[in-house]
Homo-oligomer: A and B are copies of this chain.
Amino acid sequence: MIDNETEPIEHPVCGSQVVLDLYECATPHLDDLEWVKRTLVDAARAAGATIVQTVFHKFAPWGISGVVVIAESHLAIHIWPENRYAAVDVFTCGENVRMDVASAHLKREFRAGRSNQRRFKRGDRIAAIREKSRSKSGSKATSAVEAAAHA
């Protein structure tokens, strides 16, 4: 199991993203649309996310793509059954979604022989602008962003 390039989330940021590659998936359901949909939805629920909408598509002769839009952003999956490979994204804002729970759920259900996980911040420059704003004026957080946008 490889679990690298984890970027610690130190500052308040807009979101964080987990990019998860699942290799050597031994589940027999890799090309089963209903199973994949249920498994991704279950992962979102297990992580504490609020599900808004789902979209799944089966390609011919094989392959599945799917997205679960959550109130806190999204989970996406693309599966290449012929390679026993699944590419997963978990993107969340806020601190209520337990991304690691979603990742662990998917690794287990897909019976991944190996995996590679990367985690990084999204929108961290907003946080930087906010910090700058606070240290300069103590005024409300978004003012510097708005001023910069209209400059």
CB distance from A120 to the nearest CB of B (A): 8
Interface residues of A, Cβ cutoff 8 Å to B: 14-15, 17, 19, 21, 23-26, 52-55, 57, 59, 65, 67, 69, 71, 73-74, 76, 78, 80, 82-85, 87, 89, 91, 93, 113-114, 116, 118, 120, 122-123, 125-126, 129, 142, 145-146, 148-151
In the assembly, what is the distance between CA of A73 and CA of B122, in Å?
21
In the assembly, what is the distance between CA of A119 and CA of B100, in Å?
23
> Across the interface, do B93 and A69 meet the contact criterion of CB distance under 8 Å?
no
How many copies the complex holds: the figure is 2
Set of chain B residues within 8 Å of A59, measured between Cβ atoms: 71
Question: Of B53, B150, B151, which one neighbours A57 at CB under 8 angstroms?
Answer: B53
CB distance from A86 to the nearest CB of B (A): 9
Most buried by B among A73, A80, A118, A122: A122
In the assembly, what is the distance between CA of A55 and CA of B69, in Å?
8
Enumerate the 7 nearest inter-chain pairs by beta-carbon distance, A residue then B residue, closest first. Answer: A24-B149, A55-B55, A84-B149, A67-B67, A87-B122, A24-B148, A83-B126
Set of chain B residues within 8 Å of A148, measured between Cβ atoms: 24, 113
> Across the interface, do B76 and A87 meet the contact criterion of CB distance under 8 Å?
no
Set of chain B residues within 8 Å of A82, measured between Cβ atoms: 142
A-B contact pairs, 22 of them (CB 8 A): A14-B83, A15-B78, A17-B19, A21-B122, A21-B123, A21-B125, A24-B145, A25-B149, A53-B57, A55-B55, A67-B74, A67-B76, A74-B78, A78-B93, A80-B126, A83-B126, A84-B149, A85-B123, A87-B122, A89-B91, A113-B148, A113-B149
